[in-house]
Amino acid sequence: MSNPHITLYIGTGMKNGYYTLRRCIQTDRRYTDNYVKNLSTDRDKAVAKALEYSNSVYKDHPQVTCMTDVDFELSPHGTAITHPADIERLRMIDAGVMPFGKHIGTAFTDLEDGYVLWWADREAELTVGDPKNIAIAVCHRCKDECVDRGLFLARELKVIAAEINRAKSRHVGTIGERNSYNVTITASNRYEGTYGSYYITAMIDSDYNLYVYRGSSNLGPKGIDISIRATIKEHTEYKGALQTRLLRPMRLG
């Protein structure tokens, strides 16, 4: 897989009321286009902030392009919020704290990464209008927090790294052989079938070779390292990754 090329460009938010910075990451297998941060309602300031971000975050990354052409105008932003309770919630957001929910009063900077990412990803589900505008404002604030913590970039690079590692996988052994393997469980799910429950377990070894087992044995939860002895059932391919499918695994030790 080729090294990812990153392109930064200026777009707008869902309501076309704010210039925003977006980031495209492209490899020979994958293309993503995601929000980075709010910039400004002023075009020149938006361009300046985009260049400042690019120069500070990606100064050591030659495969990054920052496009600053802005050939569109913004629309009047949003729907007016007049209810006193909602005005107070906006004041709380401006002060940097959650305005509702189980974390009400908690600073955005103190929220867990997963919770901040969950809110940052919700904007597409929401529509403009009271009280949805408050939720959208929380989305925007959490997006800024994600940028400050580098969560969006870390998530994208993690996905790219996983895809690069998937491409390294090779078929292992000979069909019918029974061998021992040291692996890490990357996914383990239980399902209900016609003849009872079964598990599908995905595993990876130190050389990034992928193994898959489907059967009644529960080999353990995601994330643990195990040693097993199993028979090679077949060699398959799934979404471009070579896999070795196993039969009758037995945990060792």
Q: For residues 253 and 251, what is the distance between their CA atoms, to the nearest angstrom?
A: 7
Q: Which residue has the tokens 């990153």?
A: 6
Nearest to 236 by CA among 192, 172, 186: 172
Q: For residues 32 and 23, what is the distance between their CA atoms, to the nearest angstrom?
A: 8
Per DSSP, the three-state class of 7 is strand
Third-level CATH fold of 171-251: OB fold (Dihydrolipoamide Acetyltransferase, E2P) (2.40.50)
Q: 142: part of which helix (H) or strand (E)?
A: helix 132-149
Q: For residues 47 and 32, what is the distance between their CA atoms, to the nearest angstrom?
A: 22
Q: For residues 37 and 18, what is the distance between their CA atoms, to the nearest angstrom?
A: 10
Cα 84 to Cα 51, 90, 93, 111, distances in angstroms = 38, 10, 14, 26
With a CB cutoff of 8 Å and minimum separation 6, the contacts of 107 are 96, 97
pLDDT at 15: 57
With a CB cutoff of 8 Å and minimum separation 6, the contacts of 110 are none
| Fold match, 1-74 / 171-251 | no
pLDDT at 183: 94
Q: What is the pLDDT along the chain (253 residues), one digit of tens a residue?
A: 456 778 888 887 655 567 888 888 877 677 787 888 888 878 888 889 888 888 888 777 777 888 877 766 665 434 455 566 777 888 888 889 999 989 999 999 999 999 999 998 887 777 554 445 788 889 888 988 988 888 888 888 777 777 777 788 999 999 999 999 999 998 898 888 777 889 999 999 999 999 999 999 999 998 899 999 999 999 999 877 899 999 999 999 7
Query: What is the CATH class of 1-74?
Result: alpha beta
Ordered by start, the domain boundaries in the chain are 1-74, 78-167, 171-251
pLDDT at 235: 96
Decide the pairing of beta strands 5-12 and 64-67. parallel
pLDDT at 83: 60
Question: pTM of this prediction?
Answer: 0.46
pLDDT at 103: 93
pLDDT at 152: 85
